[in-house]
Structure 1
């Protein structure tokens, strides 16, 4: 059986190939002609629909005459296509692969024990988070407007379930809870509140399980400036089971309230 490709690694590779081409001001058709491939083939490589072979990557990078460091980085991405784990280092000037997964996903399950997901945050909540983190006022204004822009650009997955702990609402409970109750009317989005009773939930770090086309599952784990993406089937199943257990507890709490 063929091992499933790492969706995040494929996204990183495809976007890097496109950036390498556009950085040299080459049109897709012109580069395809130079490489002796169909323009649609090159487009498939750059959109992640189909990865190139190692020989095709080497030929493309050789033609573009990339720096040794950039060439090595892209080759490493290719070699990670079959790896069950992919680590992304976040930077202010790049779009996270997690946002691209949000756009590609047909379904997602998210556990948010500490902070309401950015796409669901109210204005009051976002500003409260920035104050809590002691972000300098000028930086806070910039970050706030960047968050607003990301929310406008973000496409929600077809079906999304978000499980929040009560603690996550703390920075602005009234406005945020009202917004959640309003948003929950959307049939594509299901939001539930989990009680903080035994303290077990506090030890489960935030995670999101994404399902993309072809029933491919990826778990995203965010740690400070890194996001760890996991495609290993046994680990994915563990996270899906964990989410189900937390969801059942939330349902039981709601029924008994």
Structure 2
């Protein structure tokens, strides 16, 4: 297995799933390794994503731990994805999902959000404005805000993150949202910049996760699915696109929504 393949999202999700299945049974790593007849070192490498277990080994672990059939099929599907540079999963917030695993293990994250402010950065005014656009009844607005805030609690960011926002993403509540972004940009580990509409030639959102050892995975959302790409040439294309957008971006404190900011410029 190559160094880059050690960071395939399917492998990270697989390792997290094996570890979760073991701890759910209250078994220590050495204890389970002894019962399985494998070395503790091998099991540790499987659970940390540093080595891919054979498909027979995955079946052995899951069978011994007696995981239910739905989880068994999900984890076995992850194992079969390991040799594929593209993997797909349903859009969810499962603790063992590929996206959550990448979020937890990433060193740096680069996000392009042309149409909607990422949920952890949304203000109540922004959420209410979006709800009104979707013709939510007035009595349901408070509930919409509450549900968004509950989801935000589970989306804390630990890695260094750069977020590029398309100017159109601010429109539901430009004033309050921009003020909140200016405050958030002063915090550690987070950079937020605005890309003017004329410079935002790329319409689709994407996220780039950088792992240790300069390994990268791109996540794209398509309808109800997330697509993860680890193929080097494709990943490099998205990295180049992000760098080009960042060169045309404005710091939140510099961006003036009521003035023309369409002229490309180098950020300070």
Common topology (TM > 0.5)? yes
Task: Report the alpha carbon displacement of residue 120 of structure 1 after superposing the two structures with TM.
Answer: 1.6
* 1:113-152 residue CA offsets vs partner (Å, 9 max, x unmatched): 000111222222233334434567286255224223224x
CA gap of 1:189–1:224, structure 2 versus 1, over 3 A, is: same
Instruction: Give unmatched runs, 5+ long, in structure 1.
Output: none
RMSD: 3.0
CA gap of 1:47–1:142, structure 2 versus 1, over 3 A, is: farther
| Structure 2 residue 220 is the aligned partner of structure 1 residue 221 | yes
Q: What residue is the counterpart of 2:208 in the other structure?
A: 209
C-alpha contact 1:14 1:47 (8 A) present in aligned 2: yes
What is the DSSP-based 3-state SS (H/G/I as helix, E as strand, rest coil) of the residue aligned with 2:112?
strand
* 1:148-197 residue CA offsets vs partner (Å, 9 max, x unmatched): 3224xx13313x22111110001111111011112222353222111112
CA gap of 1:113–1:13, structure 2 versus 1, over 3 A, is: same
| Structure 2 residue 154 is the aligned partner of structure 1 residue 150 | yes
Mapped to 2, the partners of 1:106 and 1:182 lie a distance apart of 23
* 1:55-103 residue CA offsets vs partner (Å, 9 max, x unmatched): 3223213323455664443222112122101111024665643233223
C-alpha contact 2:7 2:215 (8 A) present in aligned 1: no
Q: What residue is the counterpart of 1:85 in the other structure?
A: 86
Instruction: Give unmatched runs, 5+ long, in structure 2.
Output: 251-261
What is the DSSP-based 3-state SS (H/G/I as helix, E as strand, rest coil) of the residue aligned with 2:219?
strand
Mapped to 2, the partners of 1:134 and 1:14 lie a distance apart of 43
Deviates more, 1:64-73 or 1:244-253: 64-73
C-alpha contact 1:194 1:253 (8 A) present in aligned 2: no
CA gap of 1:69–1:119, structure 2 versus 1, over 3 A, is: closer
Alignment of 1:62-211 (within 5 A): 62-66=63-67, 70-91=71-92, 96-134=97-135, 137=140, 140=144, 143-151=147-155, 154-158=156-160, 160-186=161-187, 188-197=189-198, 200-201=201-202, 204-211=203-210
Q: What residue is the counterpart of 2:235 in the other structure?
A: 236
C-alpha contact 2:170 2:178 (8 A) present in aligned 1: yes
TM-score in terms of structure 1 length: 0.82
What is the DSSP-based 3-state SS (H/G/I as helix, E as strand, rest coil) of the residue aligned with 2:198?
coil
What is the DSSP-based 3-state SS (H/G/I as helix, E as strand, rest coil) of the residue aligned with 2:34?
helix
| Structure 2 residue 28 is the aligned partner of structure 1 residue 28 | yes
Mapped to 1, the partners of 2:154 and 2:244 lie a distance apart of 31
* 1:174-227 residue CA offsets vs partner (Å, 9 max, x unmatched): 1110111122223532221111127734xx200011111111100010123211
CA gap of 1:130–1:44, structure 2 versus 1, over 3 A, is: farther
Mapped to 2, the partners of 1:62 and 1:98 lie a distance apart of 26
- Number of paired residues? 251
C-alpha contact 1:10 1:81 (8 A) present in aligned 2: yes
Mapped to 1, the partners of 2:93 and 2:119 lie a distance apart of 16
Deviates more, 1:99-108 or 1:34-43: 34-43
What is the DSSP-based 3-state SS (H/G/I as helix, E as strand, rest coil) of the residue aligned with 1:197?
helix
What is the DSSP-based 3-state SS (H/G/I as helix, E as strand, rest coil) of the residue aligned with 1:172?
helix
